[in-house]
Amino acid sequence: MSGMKAYIDRSLDIIKRNTVNTLRMNPSPKPGPISIFSFHNPPITPLSSVATGCDADIGGVSTAELTMVEQSGADESAEPSHMAFHGTLSLHVPPEFVGRIRTGYAAFRSKTRPSLFGDDVWNLDLYSHLRVRLTYRGWEGWRSKFVCNLQTDGPVRSDLFQHRLDLPSTYATNDPRPVPLATGLKFVTLHLPLSNFVLTNSGLASETQVEMMRQKVRTVGFALLGGGRQTAPSDAKIREAQRGHRVAAGGWGTASPSEEIDPEMAELLASDLGDASYVRKRTTSGGRAGGYHRVGESAEAFLDEAERAEAGIEEVGEAGYYELCIQSVEAVRLDPEGEVEESDE
């Protein structure tokens, strides 16, 4: 699909949605799911609508790739099994960039969707959770380091609402080396309460937690933040970065002049400046909206490094393979009195 056709189609879709909302005098108390990513059932989300990035964008050596994985034994016309976000995450800083960049991140997100009426957004005002069908393969050291990010159409584009993921350990391994992509995997369903997403800015939990603007969710994405990063940069380096140097997904610094910067990823995640004078505050947002986040129920939605250490989450080594396998991401409204679907294959 050409960019112009997609642009026009999105504009017409906005008109259609707004017309339906105006004519519907009694909105449904329990709306149907909104599909954000679908990599298993049609219509399949094209990978061209997803942006990726990692610390290699600013001089690191991590890798990040999106691959559609076909079902085992299926013909070419069959729907895919899932999408794999995979690569090697490395905390290594090349000598020429020591003290200038922070490494150890990889991420992807939905691209912005421009239209005649501005960027198209998801209205999640009537929804309570994100329902994610996924599994994890790769090094155990990275399994607890994934987060889900929501970016709203607010005035500060570096604001992200973040929720950490408790990924299943079924296919995790102590071997950091890459493994071939596989089919026939067992997937689980996570329900992430929208009320438990924590506002972050410049890589830190904001001292002032505000309610997410659910009517205007601009992008949805997932990131691997390696933790155990190098020592925080000096105050001079921080001021230099804040004066307008590019920030990237979970790191900070500038790309080399010869590198082309992907504008879609430039604001995926804000910088992780590591200002020691800043005290992170744990969120005091409301309850769990029915308690549907069954995986990791006792954990906070966001843990800083001190809290991770207190919880006994070990620091990781320098590099290892990761593979986040996703079938679908949907916005859903769950009835507190109803049942939550169980994890299944």
Q: How many domains in the chain?
A: 1
Q: Do the domain assignments include residue 250?
A: yes
Q: 98, 92 in Cβ contact below 8 A? A: no
Q: Do the domain assignments include residue 340?
A: no
Q: Do the domain assignments include residue 343?
A: no
- CA-wise closest residue to 162 among 303, 36, 307: 303
Give the 3-state secondary structure of residue 242.
helix
Q: Which domain holds residue 101?
A: 3-331
Cα gap 296→80, rounded to integer Å: 29
Q: 325, 185 in Cβ contact below 8 A? A: yes
Question: Tens of pLDDT along 181-228?
Answer: 999 999 999 999 999 999 987 677 888 888 999 999 999 999 999 864
pLDDT of res. 237: 43
DSSP 228: S
Q: Do the domain assignments include residue 337?
A: no
Cα gap 146→168, rounded to integer Å: 12
The single-letter code of the amino acid at 250 is G
Q: Do the domain assignments include residue 94?
A: yes
Q: Which helix (H) or strand (E) holds 329?
A: strand 319-332
Cα–Cα–Cα angle for 216, 247, 215, nearest 5°?
5
Cα gap 11→223, rounded to integer Å: 29
> What are 63's strand-pairing partners?
none
Q: Do the domain assignments include residue 341?
A: no
Question: Tens of pLDDT along 98-122?
Answer: 888 888 999 999 998 776 756 789 9
Question: Tens of pLDDT along 39-49?
Answer: 999 999 999 99
Q: Do the domain assignments include residue 129?
A: yes
pLDDT of res. 263: 52
